[in-house]
C-alpha cells in the first residue's frame, strides 16, 4: 500500500482544524493508513470547505462542501481508494452523496 494523504483546506471555512482532527480519528478507527494534513488555500473557495485525497501513482480527488456529516462516506471512499490500484472505481455508488461533492479527479 502506498503512502496516501488527505489534505484539508483551512482558508475559507471556520473550524477546519477540528474537521481535520475528526477525519484523522475516523480514518484511524477504521485502521486506514492515510495521513491527514492541512494547508492554506486549495482554490476551491466556491465549494468550501475542500478536501483532497492523493497517493503516488493514483488519481487524486478534490471534494468540496465537505462537513463532518460526510465522515462515514469519506471512510468508505478511503477504503476503496486504498484498495484500488490506480485510484479509480468501477462503481462509485457506494460513496452515496459524496459522489456529488467531487470537484476534480486528477489523473496520477
pLDDT digits 0-9 by tens, 61-97: 999 999 999 999 999 999 999 999 999 999 999 999 9
pTM of the model: 0.93
Could you give the angle at which helices 16-29 and 71-83 cross, rounded to 10 degrees? 50
User: Residue 1 — very low, low, confident or very high, per pLDDT cuts 50/70/90?
Assistant: very low
User: Residue 2: which pLDDT band, with cuts at 50, 70 and 90?
Assistant: low
> Quick one: which of 63, 59, 77, 60 has its CA closest to 8?
63
Domains and CATH numbers, the chain: 4-106 (3.40.30.10)
pLDDT tens digit sequence for 29-41: 999 999 999 999 9
Q: For residue 108, what pLDDT is reported?
A: 84
Amino acid at each position: 500500500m502506498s503512502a496516501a494523504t488527505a489534505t484539508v483546506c483551512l482558508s475559507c471555512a471556520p473550524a477546519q482544524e477540528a474537521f481535520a482532527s475528526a477525519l484523522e480519528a475516523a480514518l484511524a478507527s477504521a485502521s486506514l493508513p492515510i495521513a491527514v494534513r492541512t494547508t492554506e488555500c486549495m482554490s476551491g473557495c466556491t465549494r468550501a470547505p475542500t478536501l483532497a485525497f492523493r497517493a503516488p501513482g493514483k488519481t487524486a480527488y478534490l471534494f468540496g462542501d465537505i462537513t463532518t456529516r460526510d465522515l462515514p462516506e469519506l471512510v468508505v471512499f478511503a477504503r476503496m481508494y486504498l484498495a484500488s490500484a490506480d485510484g479509480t472505481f468501477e462503481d462509485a455508488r457506494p460513496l452515496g452523496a459524496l459522489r456529488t461533492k467531487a470537484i476534480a479527479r486528477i489523473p496520477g
